[in-house]
Amino acid sequence: MSGVRTALVWDPAVTAYRFRPDHPFNPRRLELTVSLMEALGLLEAEHVGVVAPRRATDEELMRVHSAEYVAAVKRCSERGARPADGWPWGLGTDDTPLFPGMHDVTSLVVGATLRAAELVMSGEYTRAFNLAGGLHHAHRDRGSGFCVYSDLAAAIAWIREAHGARVMYIDYDAHHGDGVQGIFYDDPEVLTLSIHESGRYLFPGTGFVDELGEGEGFGYSLNVPLEPFTEDDSWIGIYARLLPEVAEAFRPDVIVLQNGCDGHGYDPLTHLRATTRLYEETVRITCEVADRLCGGRVVATGGGGYAIWKTVPRAWSLVWAALSGQTAPDVIPHAWNDRWQGESPDLLPERLRDPAGLFPPVPRRAEIEATNRRTVQSLHRQALPLLRGWGLGF
């Protein structure tokens, strides 16, 4: 699509979202990513811009969270708050511990995704990317899985209220997007599509094919739980066929895209076997669908990603390049590696894209791919009568 303008919503202040030094949700990954984008020259084109975020208001938070929960988060954000104070709200746990200023910085992350949505829905930019966002496990009245507030749900709710737009939410983080799904489970104007490692093996233990929504929203929650050790070909093949068909049936006005990169084979918390090819291809396919159906409009966020040195900066630089219609150079500048290698516990890659054959062959490859196909066939059988116009050829 010609004339695409893309915004990166960024301020280093979002890196204050840090639970404790040894927690895997490490905001250092954000600094690494932005510095790599700069080193690759991906923030210099005339059609891209860097836009500062703003803080979400209580009213914006309470579109998707209860007033009681917001008040509890504020109390738990004060110095001296005890972990037990947060337990009734899913906070103060090993996964989502308390830290001073939690409400303020999480509100800033939510506001960054709201700002991205404002830029896109106003037409000022066609696409916008908040790499600090993607907090898809937060529920209406509890935190979960490193997530305090749901920036994604807040942005979707604002889009619905301010513009009456139909929203297609796509999530290909390795973990099921349970919080976003739950908040919009009965809303036929928000279709959620999550492709993730099966909840049989991975937190949060949800995201199965029979989770289809409820009430008026029945048929508008779609899940593809992948087998562990799923590789690029199976994952991308499913996405390339599934997304266009579902989008054609739903006819969204805007796509909200969560780009968690913890499905990469280097990630320490999951069991999938993607390479950087997944992130480049998925965003390319998504943008093609958006260009055809909803004026190119994509509101994008980051998400999971815990191989913060070897994977996250490269994956999200490729996401940004695809969103902004740029071809990223493959060689990582020596100056970037020199800047960060002394801090990294791993040898940093010299190329942006993973080579073919990066990981050893998976012995059960044919079985895994066949199981994934059967999963999509099952979804097709159950959802076809509900989402009219969907006719997949799996």
- pLDDT by residue (tens digit) across 154-204? 999 999 999 999 999 999 999 999 999 999 999 999 999 999 999 999 999
Q: What is the pLDDT of residues 76-113, one digit of tens each?
A: 999 999 999 999 999 999 999 999 999 999 999 999 99
Report d(CA 305, CA 336) in Å as an integer. 20
| Beta-carbon contacts of residue 24 (< 8 Å; ≥ 6 apart) | 146, 268, 269, 306
Residue in the structure block whose two tokens are 């780009």: 259
Q: Does the pLDDT value for residue 392 go beyond 70? A: no
Given a cut of 60, whether residue 2 has pLDDT beyond it is: no
**pTM greater than 0.95 (yes/no):** yes
Residue 68: C-alpha distances to residues 5, 88, 281 (Å)? 39, 11, 41
Q: What is the pLDDT of residue 137?
A: 98
In which residue are the tokens 């969907």 written?
A: 390
Q: State the pLDDT at residue 394.
A: 46
Token digits of residue 157: 């709710």
pLDDT confidence tier of residue 393, bands split at 50, 70 and 90: very low
* pLDDT grade for 35, boundaries at 50, 70 and 90: very high
Q: How far is CA 151 from the centre of its chain?
A: 11
Percent of the chain with pLDDT over 90: 95
Instruction: Please write the tens of the pLDDT for every residue from 194-246.
Output: 999 999 999 999 999 999 999 999 999 999 999 999 999 999 999 999 999 99
pLDDT of 66 strictly over 50: yes
Q: Which residues, in sequence order, are CB contacts of 2 under 8 Å at separation 6+?
A: none
For 226, phi then psi, to 5°, come to -85, 150
Q: What 3-state DSSP class applies to 114?
A: helix
CA gap 96, 343 in Å, rounded:
26
On the 0-12 / 13-18 / 19+ scale of CB atoms within 10 A, 244 is middle
- Supply the residues annotated as catalytic: 137
Query: Both tokens of residue 264?
Result: 């990469």
> Rg of the chain's alpha carbons, rounded to an integer?
20
- Mean pLDDT, range 280-286, rounded to an integer: 98
Closest CA to 40 of 261, 310, 336: 336
Nearest alpha carbon to residue 181 among 231, 165, 388, 171: 171
For the domain 6-55+100-383, what is the CATH superfamily, name and number? Histone deacetylase domain (3.40.800.20)
pLDDT band for 388, please (50, 70, 90 cuts).
low
Contacts of 57 (CB under 8 A, 6+ apart): none
* 258-276 pLDDT, tens digit each: 999 999 999 999 999 999 9
State the first-to-last Cα distance of the chain, in angstroms, to the nearest integer. Answer: 29
Is residue 386's pLDDT more than 80? Answer: no
Report whether pLDDT(368) > 60: yes
